[in-house]
A and B are shown apart, each in its own frame.
Chain A
Amino acid sequence: MIFAGIVAGGMGSRFGSDIPKQFLKLGNKPIVVHTVEKFLLYSKFDAIFIGVNENWIPYAQDLFKTYGINSEKIFFSKGGKDRNLTIMSIIDDIEGKFGKSDDNIIVTHDAVRPFVTLRIIGENVEAAKLYGACDTVVNSNDTIVESDVERKEIRSVPNRKYMFLGQTPQSFNMSKLKIFFNNLSESQKSELTDACKIFTLNNQKVHLVMGEFSNFKITTMSDYKIANSLLEIKFD
């Protein structure tokens, strides 16, 4: 079976807003609603789980009701302390509801990347089926430099040709993701910023899917303003 795990557990601490940014309006609707609407159009998903901080679950449920999204495919999961724990919480709920299978695929995605396209979602599903894990990336147009631990001097300048910027979705064979996550030490887990690293730390290959620059993450207030200015609202 194929599942989506939308990570919407953020509390808005980086954003300076009372309401977590995924619930703020982009055009006529909250950001997370736009994102989930796009996932609902991809008919191969058996279910879409949205991981939300537990205090915000009733709020999120109200929002989806308000905007007329009442698909039976949507479920809410309790968010964890960090991104990867939210994903693990979603996987637990999926397995509780639909049972375990070695063939299950999970497409994980940030709720605050509402400009994701059906092509990116479709290519993630196909790559996860074929390779077991994939990451969505875009070319790095700027040179990336790596600093020393004091962050004062350049340690290396990697060849830009092989540098990419990571986005989401990141998609995985669900049972492998769980096994590899549990293989990690607590210190490794605490340093994870990204689910694909769970695979690379276990010496597993992760396939690349080309994303789009427009599939950016709404992280700061200026991102939010850019996102709003990008979106035209059509009145019928």
Chain B
Amino acid sequence: MINCIYQLTSPGKINLKFEDVNFKGKVIVKPRYMSICHADQRYYRGRRSREVLKKKLPMALIHECCGEVLEDYSNTFSVGSKVVLIPNVLSDVHQEGIFENYQKGSGFRSSGIDGFMQEIVAMDSNRLVPFNDYYGNEKVFAITEMISVAVHAVERFISNSHEKKERIAVFGDGNLGFLVSLVLKRTLPNSKIVVIGRHEEKLAHFSFADQTFVDIPENFEFDHSFECTGGAGCSDAVDKIIKFINPQGTVVLLGVSEEKVPINTRNILEKGLTFVGASRSGFNDFVNAVKFLEEEKFNRRVCNLISVGSKVNFIDDIHKVFEEVLNVPFKLVFEWNM
């Protein structure tokens, strides 16, 4: 079967590649809605090192996607099923006790392996999670991957923290900060969720949070914290977390930074803090993220995070959505019709 793959060949350049796909035992999925992540933008705009670009390109971008089953040679799904596509490619060797997203030898689409910017994608059946679009918001399932990252981080937090969880602080008022706060509120309804950000107008979207701050009051304290800033804001956020957190608290680090971040280890030792790194997610996290999105309140809240971009019919439209994403406050989702 001939498939069209839309690859980034160098920053800002998309080329069409044809591939003869072997579909034996695979599920053929048509991508329907996609979302652009910061990592995709870094590749598209050439904000990765020359070595990285040379190693990973050409490559199709996008790892946040939902689609429709066109044909199933594994006899798992019925034709027409709506599914979320999991971008993790499993390692050949399973390491017991290690989550699939941290296993050595595992891969990730749009990071060295072609992402979902393809006409069809031949998927293994265990890399798909079916969903029901109860509220007519199919496009919201395009960002399931990002929700699953929040779900995974919260699970890592619960298994690596002490029982007292009266107040949890989330640093970051972007997409990840929003979704982590929302998943925390959904998972730990008795905890107070506090969000610390830099933009009043963005924090106004966090209506479900118990408190939001731009400036943290002097004697403020919390039991645990999530760092969801990444980039240049990472260092300052970690510094504040160490300052305000109660002893033996757990800090989950989620923000990606290209630069190394200096950390006040003295106070980490003094307070006996636990730092947990969380990145990406696995099958069970996707299943739980889909469950949340099938709940009306959660679904509608996430829907408000989304701006709808142009429908992509031609290669020129791909460039258009990469421009549009610069002007949206949170997530850009677009329909894929290639």
Q: Which residues of A contact B (CB under 8 A)?
A: 26-29, 34, 37-38, 40-43, 114-115, 117-119, 122, 210, 212, 214, 230-236
Would B1 and A214 count as touching, CB distance under 8 A? no
Would B20 and A41 count as touching, CB distance under 8 A? no
Cα A27 to Cα B2 with chains together (Å)? 10
Would A117 and B119 count as touching, CB distance under 8 A? yes
Cα A40 to Cα B30 with chains together (Å)? 13
When the two chains form the complex, which single residue of A41, A210, A232, A234 contacts B71, counting CB atoms closer than 8 Å?
A: A41
Closest 6 CB pairs of A and B: A27-B20, A37-B1, A41-B70, A233-B20, A232-B19, A231-B18
Given the known A-B contacts A118-B119, A118-B120, are A38 and B20 also in contact in the complex, defined by CB atoms under 8 Å? no
Q: How far apart are A74's CB and chain B's nearest CB, in angstroms? A: 14
Minimal Cβ-Cβ distance residue in A for B1: A37
Q: How far apart are A113's CB and chain B's nearest CB, in angstroms? A: 11
Cα A214 to Cα B17 with chains together (Å)? 10
Cα A40 to Cα B80 with chains together (Å)? 13
Show 18 A/B contacts (Cβ-Cβ < 8 Å), sorted by A.
A27-B20, A28-B20, A34-B1, A34-B20, A38-B2, A41-B1, A41-B28, A41-B70, A114-B2, A117-B4, A117-B338, A118-B119, A118-B120, A119-B338, A214-B18, A230-B18, A231-B19, A236-B22
B232 at the interface (CB under 8 A from A): no
The CB with the most chain B CB atoms within 10 A, among A117, A210, A233, is that of: A117
Q: Which of B5-43 contact A (CB under 8 A)?
A: 16-22, 28, 30
B52 at the interface (CB under 8 A from A): no
Would B18 and A115 count as touching, CB distance under 8 A? yes
Cα A174 to Cα B17 with chains together (Å)? 35
B261 at the interface (CB under 8 A from A): no
Q: How large is the interface on B (under 10, 10 to 19, 20 to 34, 35 or more residues)?
A: 20 to 34
Minimal Cβ-Cβ distance residue in B for A33: B1
Q: Which residues of B contact A (CB under 8 A)?
A: 1-2, 4, 16-22, 28, 30, 70-71, 79-80, 119-120, 313-314, 337-338
Cα A122 to Cα B336 with chains together (Å)? 13
Apart from A43-B70, A119-B313, A214-B4, 19 more pairs, CB < 8 Å: A27-B20, A29-B20, A34-B2, A37-B1, A40-B71, A41-B70, A42-B70, A43-B79, A43-B80, A115-B4, A117-B338, A118-B30, A119-B338, A214-B16, A214-B18, A231-B18, A232-B19, A232-B20, A234-B19
CB-CB < 8 A to A43: which residues of B?
70, 79-80
Cα A28 to Cα B1 with chains together (Å)? 9
Minimal Cβ-Cβ distance residue in B for A43: B79
Cα A41 to Cα B1 with chains together (Å)? 10
Q: How far apart are B74's CB and chain A's nearest CB, in angstroms? A: 14
Q: How far apart are B239's CB and chain A's nearest CB, in angstroms? A: 48
Cα A75 to Cα B21 with chains together (Å)? 24
CB-CB < 8 A to B4: which residues of A?
115, 117, 214
Cα A118 to Cα B338 with chains together (Å)? 7
CB-CB < 8 A to A40: which residues of B?
71
Q: How far apart are A110's CB and chain B's nearest CB, in angstroms? A: 15
Cα A29 to Cα B1 with chains together (Å)? 9
Cα A199 to Cα B113 with chains together (Å)? 47
Cα A145 to Cα B71 with chains together (Å)? 45
Q: How far apart are A141's CB and chain B's nearest CB, in angstroms? A: 15
When the two chains form the complex, which single residue of B20, B71, B337 contacts A119, counting CB atoms closer than 8 Å?
A: B337
Cα A32 to Cα B99 with chains together (Å)? 44
CB-CB < 8 A to A117: which residues of B?
4, 119, 338
CB-CB < 8 A to A34: which residues of B?
1-2, 20
Given the known A-B contacts A119-B313, A234-B22, are A41 and B2 also in contact in the complex, defined by CB atoms under 8 Å? no
Would B2 and A115 count as touching, CB distance under 8 A? yes
Given the known A-B contacts A41-B70, A41-B71, A43-B70, are A234 and B1 also in contact in the complex, defined by CB atoms under 8 Å? no
Would A231 and B2 count as touching, CB distance under 8 A? yes
Given the known A-B contacts A41-B71, A43-B80, A117-B119, are A234 and B338 also in contact in the complex, defined by CB atoms under 8 Å? no
Cα A128 to Cα B30 with chains together (Å)? 22
